Structure 1
């Protein structure tokens, strides 16, 4: 196994050129992260990674990228900020009024 490429062994077709291509695309702004994942899910990730001929790390990175592209684009987040702006009452005023009912 190649250090830093966790997961199952690469197929015999793995060559130095593949390693150099992967190293050339390393994101210097990447955030190292430690995440606790139940062993059953780790085993499932390993099976999927082996089937896809990729490392567990690469699989997790691609899954995160897919999730973010579906759920977290900046334009989606921007849509939700300021949602209260068209309401006739100030949010803080409404909050105070509701708490007074308690």
Structure 2
């Protein structure tokens, strides 16, 4: 670790006043720094978790295919599975459709 002379002198004065070693002061400073930053990491994680829960709960009220499949009209029932007997590669179909524009 590289520390300038003014900082070393300040640490020595503090160490003498606190009746401890310079190394002990540095270890405590590093421990405090890591503790503060790990608390921030936990706060960021919790904010992210709360945001995810909010977004899930907001989107969970939307209708999905499952909601609509229980009350199909006759035309929807006739259309359901219409392509079931076709052997279509989904990726190839997607590329083909996109290349038309």
TM-score between the two structures when normalised by the length of structure 2: 0.40
Higher helix proportion, which one? 2
TM-score between the two structures when normalised by the length of structure 1: 0.40
**Greater length-normalized contact order (CA 8 Å, ≥ 6 residues apart):** 1
Max Rg structure? 2
